[in-house]
Every structure is written in C-alpha cells, then in structure tokens.
Structure 1
Amino acid sequence: MTLSTQTISQAVEARADRIVETLSRLVSFPSIVMNDPRQAGPGERDCQLYLQQRLEAIGFTTDLWDPDGPALLEKYAGRPGANKGRTFDGRPNLGGTLAGSGKGRSIMLTGHIDVVPPGPATHWTSDPFVPMVKDGFVHGRGTVDMKGGVACMLMAVEILKEIGAELKGDVVFTTVVDEEIGGMGSLAMVDRGFKADAGIMTEPTANRIAPLCHGILWGRIVIDGISGHAELTPNAWHAGGPVDAVQLCRQMLDGLDILNRRWMYEPRKNHPLMAMPNQIIVTQLHVGEHPSSMAGRAEITIDVQYLPHEKDEFGLGGHVKREIEEHVAALCLSDPYLRQHPARVEWILDADCAEVPADHPFVETFQGAVAAATLDPALAGFGAHSDIGLPTGLGNTPTVNFGPGDPAQSHQPNERVSIEDLVACTKAIALAIYGWTNLEKA
C-alpha cells in the first residue's frame, strides 16, 4: 500500500502529544557531559536505555556499547574525532537497524543525547531537568540541543510503523554521547560500522536543511609576563622588573580583532550558505595570580571556525592553525618584550566539518519532503560545529543537519522549543524516510 503525503502528515499531527511526551521523557534524564568525561553521571546511560527500549518495541535490532576511547585514539590518531583523555565507562552509544523489505535506499537518523551543564540555577525560571510545557513550548535543558531532534526522529519512525508504511530500505538509528566535548562518540559510531546511503543529523536548524557546518578549533594563547608588586614603581623589565601580562593580553586581543576584520572580506573565510564569516571568538580569559600583584601569566582561550574547503590532508584544520600561529608570532614582533618572550598557541581540540553538495540526490529528495511539510526547502548553513563530518567523510554516509528549534537557544538557560516546530520536523523526517527508502537502491 502506498501512503499519501496527507496520510503521513495527518498521522504525525494526530500524535503531537506523544511527540511532546517523548521529548519530555528525554529531557528528564540529566545526561550532562563535562570537559572531564569521568565526571559524567548516569544520565547518559539511562537515556540510551530508554531509547533502546523504544527502538526494540518497533522491531529494531539494537547495539548498546561503551566505546573504547584509548583504542579509538590509537586507531585514528590525528584524524577527526580522535581526542585524548576520553573514557566511556557507563557512557554508551546506541545504534539500531530496522530492516527494509529490500532494494530500497537506506537512511541513517543520528543525534547526540549528551547536554552541556545548565549553569547557575538562578538563571533558570524552572528546573532544567523537569520538563515544562507552557504557552506552546517545551522547556528544559536539551530541548533544542538536541533532544528535540532525537524525539522527532524516533517518533517519525514509530508513526510510520503504526500506520503500516512499507519501507524497502533500511532505517539506521544512532544516538551518541561525547558530542559536546569533541565528537568521539560519533567516531565510535562510524567505527562500529553504522552507515547508510544518506543521513539526517537532527541538530537544531529551525527546520532548515543545512548540508554544511563549520569546523571548530579550540586553542589557548599563553603569554608569560613577569609578576611584581602592583603598587610600587617598577624597574624596567630588562633590568629585572615586572611585565604586566594584563597589558600584553590587551595587545593580543586587539591583534585578534585585526585578523577577524581581515577575515570578514576574504572569500575563503566566507560561504554563501553561512550568515557570517569565520571568526576567532575569545571564550575564556585567565589572567593574574593576586589582587596586589602584576599578572605574571595570561591565557586566552579561543574558539575558531573553519570551512570544509580549508581542511588539511587529514580532514582537519591544520592550515588554519598555522595561519593563527603565524599571526600571533607577527604580533609578538611588534612588542620588545614579546619579541624575546613570544606567546605560544596550545591547541586543545580540532572538530572537523563537511559539506554535502546541493545537487546530491538525497538533498533534493529531502527538499521535496520539507516542502511537502509546508516548510522552507531552501538550504542554509549550520554556523556551529556538528558531527556530520564523521559519517559523511569516514562513514561514506552523506549527512545533513535538520532539526527543530532556534539554534541560538543552544546552551542557554531557559532553553525551549515550540511544539509547532517539533510536529513540523517529525512530519518532514517521516516524509523523507518514506520517500528515500522506497527509491530503488542505485
């Protein structure tokens, strides 16, 4: 039996309450990930166990496993997703496959269930892990980034099963941990062998198809000054006097602004689908040791964006790293102290990026499904990093971002997603699954 767009759409709309209930259940698991993954609580595992139960109930064959961080690092050292210090004890990935009847194209639905810490409770108007439905929105940590998308992709498959949709191609479902601290969960998922002819990663895109994301570099610019009493007349630094690292930090920040202004107009730092050029964003400052002492050291933590065409031979941001290192070195030459004691850049993380061509058959099929769900089928860029580079590059699964919610709500207090967005996203994904998996495999 062939199902019409109207039949699928109406089935989704009739189950809006269940979509909300599913998201609320996912939010109730405090699946927080920390910079040190050993500090993660049981929320990630509990959330994955819940999803596993839902998948198995509709016929998925599932695989729940704790990845081996050191083994992955050894195997993929220097490649995307291979990060030091990752441990996955009690932090499982989940994968599952729903077999099609045969000869259709397969699709992978993927997302992450880890969330960033909620921050001070005083910044929230409700408990971040007690989901609240109010004024047409679901409130709570992860509603946007990205349990809303996970709820939509799960419900899309469940609804298709409930209305008797026959799918010729396989549906692969994966939810990973560790995305918020570098993506090694997605690396483990691809290494495990999960792949398909095309994929949807349900990161929040305001229900726009985003076949492109940024690569991200995290780095630390370290400036060594010389501490001394802040209230006394100092000797010259070459005579043993202090050098104020606060002042040197100011100079370095001004120098980073110069590079940002240059990047605004460089074609290689811009993309027609991206709203803004690549940027160097200062996210943390650690300067000084004592209130009455000149600072002897400064650390500037930066978050740097890069585009797929800037990737090096390893699929990472090596070219951009060198560009920043050379700029920092040039800035040091303009200061007599830094000329002799140059600042250094220590790289913390390199998260890769990807781009699926606009004329890829899946992108065109998905645009049709999005239009049928009465959403805007125009393509857009995803300004932040997402894990689409790992399934797209390493896993040979061309994967696009598409999910509910305003991406600007990510990581903010009082995170919320509209029920209207959730229903529309579920509808588009269900239509895409049905349309794509019933195309004969190339």
Structure 2
Amino acid sequence: MNPTEQRISEAVEAASDRIVETLCALVSFPSIVKSDPREAGPGEHDCQHYLKGRLEALGFATDLWDPDGPALLEKYRGRPGAHEGRTFEGRPNLGGTLKGSGGGRSIMLNGHIDVVPPGSRDHWRSDPFQPVVEDGFVRGRGTVDMKGGVASMLMAIEILKEIGVDLAGDVVFTTVVDEEIGGMGSLAMVDRGFTADAGIMTEPTANRIAPLCHGILWGRIILDGIGGHAELTPNSWDGSGPVDAVQLVRQMLDGIDILNRRWTTDPRKNHPLMELPNQVIVTQIQAGEHPSSTAGRGEIVVDIQYLPHEKDEFGLGGHVKREFEAHVAAVCQADPYLRKKPARVEWILDADCAEVPADHPFVAAFQSAAEAAELSPALSGFGAHSDIGLPTSLGGTPTVNFGPGDPAQSHQPNEQVSIRDLVDCTKAIALAIHRWCGPAKA
C-alpha cells in the first residue's frame, strides 16, 4: 500500500463514528416503498433531498427528478425494468457527478433508498426508524438493505475529498427509488444518461465482490375448482360436482417440488459463484371462500430465479417462463380434472440479471482494493436479485454488487449491520475509487 492509500485507510478508520452517524441519518427517513407504486413513500423525497445536500457540499453537480413512468414504459416496453402502473410524483431519483481532472476512468456508485415496510412493531426491539447503536451494530430498517451501503459510498467520497485526494476520472453518484418493487427507478437512472466506465452497487454482500446476480420471475398459478358443501358433497373429479381447489393446490406444490429437485442437478440452473441452484420458491398461497365450503379457487404465488445465460432475446426470463409453463401443464396432464381444466400462469414481474466477467479489468482492480482493505478478494454470486443488469446491459456500465452486512438480514425485523462491516466497506470503496479513477495529474 502506497503512502496515499495508507492515508486513505487511516482516514476511514478515524471516521468510524461519522460513518455510523451518516447511516443513522439515512435510516431516520422512513422511505418505505408502497405496494401501490403510484403512491410516494413517506420519506423517499426527504431522504433524497438530504443526500443531494451532502453531494453538493462536496462539489457534485446534482440532478434530482421525478421520473416519468408512463413515458419510460412506452419507450422500453417489453424490456428490463419497464413495468405497468408506475408513477413517480414525490418519488425522486438523485444523480450527481464530481468531475475529475481528466484522463482517468470514471466510476459510478449506486444504491436504492427505498426500504420494505417494517412489519409488526411487536417484532422489533426498538422503533424501526429510530436507529440504535448497540454492541457494535447499527439497528433499524434499511441498515442492511441498503442504506448501510449508501452511507459507505457517500463517506468514501467525502473522506477522499477531505484528505485532498484528487482524482483523474469522474465519480458518478446515483440513488434510486422503486428497487424493492421492480427496478424502474434504475431504468430511469440509466435512461437519464448516468453511466461510467465501471460501477459498484452497494447491495449487502457481507463485503464480498459479487459480479453476478439472479434474475427473478414472479408468477401466479391459478387453479379453478368447483365449490360445494364440504361436509355433504364428496369430490367429483370428472367436474360434475364439487372439486376441492385445496387438493389441486397440494398437487401443484408437489409438482413444484419435483421441478426443484430436477433443477438441483441441472447444469443450466447452477453457477460456480452461486451457493445454491435456481429454485421455484412458493411465497404465497390462497384458497377457499368459506369454512364449510370446498374451495372453488386456489392461487399459488411463486418467485423463480434465473441466471444471465438463460436470458431471452429481450434480456429477460422468457425462456424460463416457457419452461415453467410447460412443467405446470405436465402436472395438469397427470390429473383427470386438470386435464380438462388446466391451471393458468399469470406473470407479475420479470426482473433481469447480469454478470460481469471475472477477468474484467475493474473486477481485478476492485479485488486488489478489497485485499488492501484486508477483505477477501474472492468473488461470489449475489443470490437475490439486484439492479446491476440495468446499468450493465442497458447503460454499458459493468457493475458489481458489494456492500456491508449479512444479506440474510434484509427485510427482517431488527435488521442490523456491524460497524466493522461499514468501515471496511467504506475503506474498500475509497481504495477502489482511487485505483480505478487514478490520481489527478499535477
């Protein structure tokens, strides 16, 4: 580590309390994403304004805007990130650029400031939006997913500026909304023209460099039974009388289990950087209308993972959709009633994925910076979905995931990130910026 990088490392360590304070300030904004994407969360606007002020104090030229959802849908219909029904009034994106002296490579730091609802207050040891610093951790909604990462990327830039490390390349800072319900905020960011030679998305990865993430499909399987009196009328599998949709749901769940077992050993569903194979995850089940009536309808909601090599010609999961639909149809063929009245699959969401090659120059530079920060340079896959596909594939900014915190803490009550993780993440990002963008020419 050269003298400049030693100064960077020491300055980050000395700024530990300020990194924590920055995260606490961000958590205190209840920037909850609404299930109805036409509604603004109570703190999205205020959180972005706070970050805008911090960026402008560092000399960034900033851009705060409410994206035009309908216009984006019209422009990108059928492409990644384009979703029906999105409006962004009061839900701004934020972008900023800090110009370098010239001649260096640019970097984009990206995060989302929307968080999922905290759930039942009874499950929390403290108010989810009153951050608590305790036993070496910061607790509160969004500390892991992903305001811890946003705090780290902001403080990395702030510390470089404070100790007089001037850069040759530009630093681009972007924070978006809408990530937790599909990623149209990231689409709007790329459409706005925010790009760079490489990017870091600070989703929680336990400070491991993850140049790969899953795509996800959300789908709804609809099974139509025939209602009847549960105590008086037996199932009539030819459809002439009641058919219990609860039993149809059970059969379909068994069929999904069979598919998952098949995917466990299918090379197409596995990746060397991913710990687990792709799976069809059942997340919601609904059936029945009355306690003493057989269910006339059943619904199963699934979350299906796919890998970058499975993307279709539009950069989405069309191949996997058709594969799943064929499996559902095969399950129906095994049942006399469902052969006549097969299940239907309705698709709710398709969120794309990406992979930056392990031999990309930025990946190597970031691995070197992580090692200098005394972190593992080993690459890993990000098992959940993140928005890296949009800047990577659409914007031409090869982007990796890297952020503080155990990703399994995401969306949980009492979500918390360790202070050590925050400091280490900030250090690695600051060193990566310096190495990638290069020192300003004298």
Scaled to the shorter chain, the TM-score interval is: over 0.9
Q: Are the structure 2 counterparts of residues 299 and 235 from structure 1 closer, same or farther at C-alpha, using a change threshold of 3 Å?
A: closer
1:282: which partner in 2?
282
2:108: which partner in 1?
108
Name structure 1 gaps, 5 residues minimum: none
The whole-number CA distance in structure 2 between the counterparts of 1:231 and 1:155 is 65
Q: Which AA in structure 1 matches 2:371? A: A
Q: Deviations for 1:310-352, whole angstroms, at most 9, x for unmatched residues?
A: 0000000000000000000010011111000000100000000
Higher deviation after alignment, 380-389 or 29-38: 29-38
* Alpha-carbon contact 2:167-2:440 (below 8 Å) kept: no
Name the SS of the counterpart of 1:194 in structure 2.
coil
Matched, 1:325 2:328: no
TM-score relative to the length of structure 1: 0.98
Alignment of 1:295-314 (within 5 A): 295-314=295-314
1:395: which partner in 2?
395
The whole-number CA distance in structure 2 between the counterparts of 1:4 and 1:379 is 26
The whole-number CA distance in structure 2 between the counterparts of 1:439 and 1:139 is 36
1:434: which partner in 2?
434
Q: Are the structure 2 counterparts of residues 235 and 192 from structure 1 closer, same or farther at C-alpha, using a change threshold of 3 Å?
A: closer
Name structure 2 gaps, 5 residues minimum: none
The whole-number CA distance in structure 1 between the counterparts of 2:8 and 2:394 is 33
Q: Are the structure 2 counterparts of residues 440 and 162 from structure 1 closer, same or farther at C-alpha, using a change threshold of 3 Å?
A: closer
1:364: which partner in 2?
364
Higher deviation after alignment, 152-161 or 38-47: 38-47
1:161: which partner in 2?
161
* 1:37 to partner: Cα distance: 1.7
* Alpha-carbon contact 2:167-2:439 (below 8 Å) kept: no
Name the SS of the counterpart of 1:260 in structure 2.
helix
The whole-number CA distance in structure 2 between the counterparts of 1:172 and 1:218 is 32
* Alpha-carbon contact 2:235-2:243 (below 8 Å) kept: no
1:204: which partner in 2?
204
The whole-number CA distance in structure 2 between the counterparts of 1:236 and 1:327 is 25
Name the SS of the counterpart of 1:375 in structure 2.
coil
* Alpha-carbon contact 1:105-1:440 (below 8 Å) kept: no
The whole-number CA distance in structure 1 between the counterparts of 2:233 and 2:310 is 49
TM-score relative to the length of structure 2: 0.98
Identity over the aligned pairs, expressed in percent? 80
Q: Which AA in structure 2 matches 1:124? A: W
Q: Are the structure 2 counterparts of residues 235 and 369 from structure 1 closer, same or farther at C-alpha, using a change threshold of 3 Å?
A: closer
The whole-number CA distance in structure 2 between the counterparts of 1:84 and 1:16 is 42
The whole-number CA distance in structure 1 between the counterparts of 2:162 and 2:4 is 15
1:13: which partner in 2?
13
* Alpha-carbon contact 1:172-1:196 (below 8 Å) kept: yes
Matched, 1:258 2:258: yes
Name the SS of the counterpart of 1:148 in structure 2.
helix
Q: Are the structure 2 counterparts of residues 408 and 156 from structure 1 closer, same or farther at C-alpha, using a change threshold of 3 Å?
A: same
2:231: which partner in 1?
231
The whole-number CA distance in structure 2 between the counterparts of 1:3 and 1:67 is 43
Q: Deviations for 1:123-167, whole angstroms, at most 9, x for unmatched residues?
A: 111110000000000000000000000000000000000000010
Matched, 1:134 2:118: no
* 1:440 to partner: Cα distance: 10
The whole-number CA distance in structure 1 between the counterparts of 2:25 and 2:366 is 28
Name the SS of the counterpart of 2:385 in structure 1.
coil
* 1:238 to partner: Cα distance: 3.7
Alignment of 1:30-49 (within 5 A): 30-49=30-49
The whole-number CA distance in structure 2 between the counterparts of 1:3 and 1:188 is 40
Q: How many residues matched?
A: 440
Name the SS of the counterpart of 1:94 in structure 2.
strand
1:415: which partner in 2?
415
Q: Which AA in structure 2 matches 1:303? A: D
1:240: which partner in 2?
240
* Alpha-carbon contact 1:42-1:90 (below 8 Å) kept: no
Q: Deviations for 1:377-416, whole angstroms, at most 9, x for unmatched residues?
A: 0000000000000000000000000000000000100000
Q: Which AA in structure 2 matches 1:427? A: K
* Alpha-carbon contact 1:124-1:414 (below 8 Å) kept: yes
* 1:6 to partner: Cα distance: 1.2
Name the SS of the counterpart of 1:89 in structure 2.
coil
Name the SS of the counterpart of 2:145 in structure 1.
coil
Matched, 1:270 2:259: no
* 1:234 to partner: Cα distance: 2.9
* Alpha-carbon contact 1:138-1:418 (below 8 Å) kept: yes
* 1:42 to partner: Cα distance: 2.9
The two structures, once aligned, show a CA RMSD in angstroms of: 1.2
Q: Which AA in structure 2 matches 1:85? A: G
Name the SS of the counterpart of 1:231 in structure 2.
coil
Q: Are the structure 2 counterparts of residues 418 and 161 from structure 1 closer, same or farther at C-alpha, using a change threshold of 3 Å?
A: same
* 1:288 to partner: Cα distance: 0.6
The whole-number CA distance in structure 1 between the counterparts of 2:182 and 2:440 is 36
* 1:34 to partner: Cα distance: 1.9
Q: Are the structure 2 counterparts of residues 45 and 235 from structure 1 closer, same or farther at C-alpha, using a change threshold of 3 Å?
A: closer
* Alpha-carbon contact 1:210-1:380 (below 8 Å) kept: yes
The whole-number CA distance in structure 1 between the counterparts of 2:3 and 2:85 is 49
Q: Which AA in structure 2 matches 1:274? A: M
The whole-number CA distance in structure 2 between the counterparts of 1:163 and 1:4 is 10
The whole-number CA distance in structure 2 between the counterparts of 1:333 and 1:440 is 67
1:25: which partner in 2?
25
The whole-number CA distance in structure 1 between the counterparts of 2:257 and 2:230 is 28
Name the SS of the counterpart of 2:38 in structure 1.
helix
The whole-number CA distance in structure 2 between the counterparts of 1:159 and 1:239 is 70
* 1:239 to partner: Cα distance: 6.4
2:80: which partner in 1?
80
* 1:439 to partner: Cα distance: 7.5
* Alpha-carbon contact 1:136-1:418 (below 8 Å) kept: yes
Alignment of 1:342-357 (within 5 A): 342-357=342-357
Alignment of 1:160-179 (within 5 A): 160-179=160-179
Matched, 1:379 2:362: no
* 1:241 to partner: Cα distance: 1.1
Name the SS of the counterpart of 1:37 in structure 2.
coil
